[in-house]
Copies of this chain bind each other. A is one copy, B any other.
Amino acid sequence: MPSHVAGTKQVVRAKTDHDGNSLRKAFYEIRELIVHGRLSPGSWIVEADLARHLSMSRTPVRSALHWLQREGYVIEHKNARKSRMVVAPLTKEDAGELYSIIGHVEGLAGRRTAALPKANRTEIATRLRGFNNQLREILTARDSRAAGIFDLDRNFHRAIIESGAGPRLLALHKSIEPQAERYWRLYASSIINDLHLSVAEHDEIIAAIVAGDPDRVERGLQSNWENGCHRLARVIDIFGERGSW
């Protein structure tokens, strides 16, 4: 190549194949950062910083942030006509609405789970008992490995949703549930101290599924979330809200 062309383009391109789907990766990684509190509630988001952190360009990061905004993990601090993005704060009011929605979404799914054939229901109940018994063990052992608790509770609820919900409801649940996890993680004590209550509520839900009673399952799930919300509210009152100032 002649040397006089050297300065013309010379954009050394680093093989664009960042594995084919950076957007997904960006979405899940950023969500993880938010859910785990590494990006703390109320804090500023700079696209370029995240892009560097994830070692990709701004384009997929940007799209991911828009997803997160639509789902409520991120809100736009609209100054004038430009949208600054901020990690959504955790407030008691928001928690109330969020938990209420999840309770109803799960209630709807649970209702359909209760309508499944008996064979399926007993199979599910067995699985649910497995999760709940593990929770009970942690409880009696005063183990308090918070991480395990989160996962067990999540698995319990997911098992119900996944067996009863169709694709739409499932997607809806998947997009909302991690937001409740934000509250769990940051106000962990609320879950751990009152764990026995939740375990008891789970027992009732299992019984309702075995009985095949949709109303009872729905009520059980709604109560579980509603009560969780009250327990959470107490903790928020004590420790204060985060990211809302």
Which A residues contact B (CB, under 8 angstroms)? 4-5, 7-8, 20-21, 23, 59, 62-63, 66-67, 70-72, 81-82, 93-94, 96-98, 100-101, 104-105, 107-108, 166-169, 171-172, 175
Return 11 A-B CB contacts under 8 Å, by A number: A7-B8, A8-B8, A20-B82, A66-B66, A70-B70, A72-B171, A96-B166, A97-B166, A97-B168, A101-B108, A101-B169
Q: Are B66 and A23 in contact (CB under 8 A)?
A: yes
**Closest residue on chain B to residue A5 by CB atoms:** B7
Tell me what chain A mostly uses at the interface: helix, strand, loop, or mixed: helix
Question: What residues of B have a CB within 8 angstroms of the CB of A101 in the complex?
Answer: 105, 108, 168-169, 172
Given A4-B4, A97-B167, A101-B172; 11 other pairs, CB 8 A cutoff: A7-B8, A8-B8, A20-B81, A63-B63, A67-B67, A70-B70, A72-B171, A93-B166, A97-B166, A97-B168, A104-B107
A11: min CB distance to chain B, Å: 11
A183: min CB distance to chain B, Å: 13
Top-3 shortest CB links A-B: A97-B166, A20-B81, A97-B168
Give Cα distance in the complex from A111 to B107, angstroms. Answer: 15
**Closest residue on chain B to residue A103 by CB atoms:** B108
**Closest residue on chain B to residue A82 by CB atoms:** B20
